[in-house]
């Protein structure tokens, strides 16, 4: 007896690209994908190619010089100084933004009168253009007309050249950056604090735990994901700081505020050496990427729970 075969054969499954829903999805995604390719991916690839040319690059008649731009980074003392200045800036401004942001979040997370108004006031500087803030603070820091020196004169302190003294210029920019960015970190920490279940605090209160013990054993561990996110974003944002030295000090005095981002701009548009500026930019990207990669690895092995 011959085997009976079913007249109904299973249909061949269509591939992912053959589905009607997928075609419609890619149709709607195509504007965003094209935008990303034209204005992000393509410029990055072009900038990477620029690092292998001298001067203004191949379109401007610059000669191909291979890895010479990267080799120059090893002997460029100004670049090394800008890296060190950027490190101190990230440590001072970034660390202060995190500490003050957390402290303000802990304070304004309590049931205080006018806490909504205080949150808005502290967050308001972050909503203001950094160019405007830099111009206003330049007037505040002015040695002759600035209100800061006027207040110091009331207690007998002579005028201080905040933006003209190599020992004070970086500190002055750090203060401006902390004043501008602390509100943003405060909002992030507030969101993290309000996501912590109240049952933990109720149980700690029943056990008679003090405020320090509650912060160390409950708040800080449960706030670790938010703290890690704030840390990563702070490192990235501080490494890209440009407007403050550009508007307030022009990288001076004596390169005291010559952050890496400003040095890249100066090499590219003042000295018209786009190839070397691109090499500096990719070197900074590699450094920040390595730092964040180490932190992510540390997070996965030590802090994740």
Phi, psi of 3 (to 5 degrees): -65, 140
Nearest one of 94, 69, 126 to 239, comparing CA atoms = 94
pLDDT at 2 (0 to 100): 46
**What integer best gives the mean pLDDT of the chain?**
88
Number of residues in the chain: 305
Residue 204 binned pLDDT confidence (cut-offs 50, 70, 90): confident
Task: Determine the 3-state secondary structure of 209 from DSSP.
Answer: coil
Residue that wins the pLDDT comparison between 300 and 238: 238
pLDDT at 94: 95
For residue 112, whether the previous peptide bond is cis, meaning omega lies within 30 degrees of 0, is no
Residue 101: closest CA among 211, 216, 178: 178
Q: What is the pLDDT of residues 148-159, one digit of tens each?
A: 999 999 998 899
Residue 228 near residue 292, CB atoms below 8 Å? no
Mean pLDDT check: name the lowest of 57-66, 89-98, 124-133: 57-66
Instruction: Name the nearest CA neighbour of 145 among 133, 153, 134, 157.
Output: 153
Average pLDDT on 183-212 reads 87
CA 64 to chain CA mean position, Å: 33
Measured CA to CA, the distance from residue 51 to residue 261 in angstroms comes to 16
Residue 95 pLDDT: 95
- Quote the pTM value: 0.85
Least confident of 2-6, 142-146, 270-274: 2-6
Percentage with pLDDT > 70 across the chain: 92
Task: Say whether pLDDT at 271 is over 50.
Answer: yes
- CA 223 distance to own-chain centroid: 20
pLDDT of residue 12: 47
Q: Is the pLDDT reported for residue 14 higher than 80?
A: no
Q: What backbone phi and psi angles, to 5 degrees, belong to 64? A: -70, 130
Q: Lowest mean pLDDT: which of 98-102, 119-123, 171-175, 300-304?
A: 300-304
Q: What is the mean pLDDT of residues 14-29?
A: 73
- What contacts 165, CB < 8 A, 6 or more positions away? 253
Among 3-7, 128-132, 226-230, 235-239, which stretch is predicted with the lowest mean pLDDT? 3-7
H-state helical runs in the chain: 20-36, 42-50, 68-73, 77-89, 95-108, 115-127, 130-140, 147-153, 169-194, 198-206, 211-214, 220-222, 224-239, 243-244, 260-265, 274-298
pLDDT of residue 65: 87
Q: Does 30 score more than 60 pLDDT? A: yes
pLDDT of residue 55: 80
Q: Identify the band that residue 264 occupies on the pLDDT scale cut at 50, 70 and 90.
A: very high
Give dist(CA 187, CA 189) in Å, integer.
5
pLDDT at 102 over 50: yes
Q: Which of 117, 172, 126 is nearest to 149 (CA)?
A: 172
- The pLDDT assigned to 227 comes to 93
Q: What residue segments make up the domains of the chain, in order of their start?
A: 76-303
Angle at 73 between CA 63 and CA 60, to 5 degrees: 25
Q: How confident is the model at residue 1 (pLDDT cuts 50, 70, 90)?
A: very low
Q: Tell me the per-residue pLDDT of 161-197, one tens digit each, with 9 for 90 and over.
A: 999 999 999 999 999 999 999 999 999 999 999 998 8
Where does residue 70 rank: exposed (0-12), middle (13-18), buried (19+ CB within 10 A)?
Answer: middle
Closest CA relative to residue 269, chosen from 82, 86, 55 = 55
CATH match for 76-303 among 3.20.20.10, 2.30.110.10, 1.10.3720.10, 1.10.1060.10: 1.10.3720.10
């Amino acid at each position: 007896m011959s085997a009976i075969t079913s007249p109904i054969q299973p249909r061949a499954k269509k591939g992912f690209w053959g589905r009607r829903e997928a075609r419609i999805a890619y149709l709607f995604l195509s504007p965003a994908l094209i935008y990303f390719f034209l204005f992000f991916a393509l410029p990055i690839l072009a900038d990477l190619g620029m690092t292998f040319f001298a001067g203004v690059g191949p379109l401007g008649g610059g000669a191909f010089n291979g890895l010479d731009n990267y080799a120059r980074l090893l002997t460029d003392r100004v670049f090394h100084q800008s890296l060190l200045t950027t490190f101190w800036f990230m440590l001072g401004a970034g660390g202060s933004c995190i500490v003050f942001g957390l402290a303000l979040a802990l304070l304004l997370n309590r049931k205080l009168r006018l806490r909504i108004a205080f949150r808005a006031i502290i967050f308001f500087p972050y909503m203001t253009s950094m160019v405007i803030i830099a111009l206003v603070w330049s007037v505040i820091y002015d040695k002759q007309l600035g209100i800061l020196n006027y207040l110091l004169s009331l207690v007998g302190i002579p005028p201080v050249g905040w933006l003209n003294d190599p020992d004070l210029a970086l500190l002055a920019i750090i203060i401006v950056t902390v004043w501008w960015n602390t509100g943003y970190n405060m909002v992030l920490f507030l969101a993290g604090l309000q996501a912590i279940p109240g049952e933990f605090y109720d149980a700690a209160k029943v056990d008679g735990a003090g405020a320090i013990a509650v912060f160390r054993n409950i708040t800080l561990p449960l706030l670790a994901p938010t703290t890690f996110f704030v840390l990563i974003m702070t490192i990235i944002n501080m490494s890209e700081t440009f407007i403050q030295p550009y508007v307030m000090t022009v990288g001076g005095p004596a390169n005291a505020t010559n952050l890496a981002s400003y040095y890249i701009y100066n090499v590219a548009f003042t000295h018209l050496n786009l190839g070397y500026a691109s090499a500096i930019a990719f070197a900074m990207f590699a450094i920040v990427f390595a730092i964040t990669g180490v932190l992510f690895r540390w997070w996965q092995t030590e802090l994740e729970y």
